Amino acid sequence: MIRQVQKIRIYPTNAQQLQLAKAMGCCRFWWNYALNKIIESYKETGKSLSRSGLNALLPNLKKEFPWLKTDVYSQSLQQTSLNLSRAFINFFQKRARFPRFKSKHRKQSVAFPQSVKVEGDYVKIPKIGLVKAVFERRYVGKIKTVTVSKDSCNHYFASIIYELEACFINGKGDKILGIDLGIKDFAIVNDGSKTSKYKNPKHFDKHYKNLARKQKKLARKKLDSNSRNKAKKLLAKVHARISNSRQDYLHKLSRNLTNDSQVIVVENLNVKGMVRNHKLAKAISDCGWGMFVNFLSYKLKREDKHLIEIDRWFASSKICSNCLYQMDKMPLDIREWTCPSCQTKHDRDENAAKNIRAEGIRIVQSEGTPDSARGGSVRPGLGIMTLSFGYCR
């Protein structure tokens, strides 16, 4: 997993500045207290105090100084212990000088391990709330640690450490979507945290009944009769209506998904087309999968975003998205199953969408270029190159 640090300017409100000042004060206090304890311990025993040794001092200290409980997120103090023990390791390995006491006149900081979220143009910080932020680029991945700092000009910054899935310039839509195309549901979309199902529109059924009726009528007409020509025209109208409403639906759906994302991963349609089941083949062509993938492709391309098509040999529905166990068989009529290895209960389509997304990410991370992408392919003309981590450096 690649780690990436992003430093952004943040704009806390006056109330938030006060809360941050308190939290930074607590961390500074704890750093200095702990550093002093380590120095004392050295003088007395010749030994340092470990990180857990430091953390063990905290409960009593919080009783003595109750503001260590109220004014700061407890994880922030533990992160300070970690930073201090790392500072000592660096000192002993001759990579850094002896850790120094922190002054309130210098740069201040407080760290938040794991509980921070990025929500739109805000960073959500425990005990502080939503803080306005300016992002120049967006990263997709798990947020590990966020350190909020204040410099001598009273400017606030957040350094966010991500376990990276990908990164993008200009964050309009920042998701990687895996899409499984289906028949009961038209598209099953996984964005890494949730799965959405998009139904085949119901009004198609209505059109199809109409179509069948008009086809029957036409069949009963005499050849070269006037009424036959009339019936032909009526039938053509129904066809046009179906095709318009299908296109309309596919345009809207592909537009919404494109707005939401930077990369969309789908299975190569040849896979689906290879199914030698006549009924299924008709359903597939009716759904307009090919049209949909085309719409996605050019909409994404116009915005410098990317479509990745996964290779036909990738068994998206047979693999457990949780533990990667591969089933021998997965007949089409099985909609739900339990992984024999990790006991995870799967919805067939959701599991496939998750696998497709993961495979797309794997391709982006490991291969970077369409030509070398062994496990998948990229539509001609779509430069997956730009997705390589060159952006991030």
- Exposure string over 284-320, b if 16+ CB within 10 A, otherwise e: beebbbebbbebbbebbbeeebbbbbbbbebebbbbb
Minimum Å distance from CB 321 to Zn ion?
A: 8
**Active-site choice (267, 309, 350, 359):** 267
Beta bridge partners of 76: none
Tell me the two tokens of residue 207: 């059109």
15 vs 315 by CB, closer to Zn ion: 315
- Exposure string over 58-88, b if 16+ CB within 10 A, otherwise e: beebbeeeeebeebbbeebbbbbbbbbbebb
Helix (H) or strand (E) holding 167: strand 156-169
Closest-CA residue to 178 (of 33, 361, 9, 26): 361
* Residue 349 is a catalytic residue: yes
**Active-site choice (165, 174, 180, 359):** 180
Q: How far is CA 201 from CA 122, 208, 284, in A?
A: 36, 12, 14
5 vs 323 by CB, closer to Zn ion: 323
* Residue 40 is a catalytic residue: no
Q: How far is CA 283 from CA 138, 250, 271, 277, in A?
A: 39, 16, 15, 10
Minimum Å distance from CB 344 to Zn ion?
A: 5
**Active-site choice (174, 191, 309, 349):** 349
18 vs 323 by CB, closer to Zn ion: 323
Binding interface with Zn ion (CB under 5 A): 320, 322-323, 325, 339, 341-342, 344
> Which positions are catalytic?
180, 267, 349
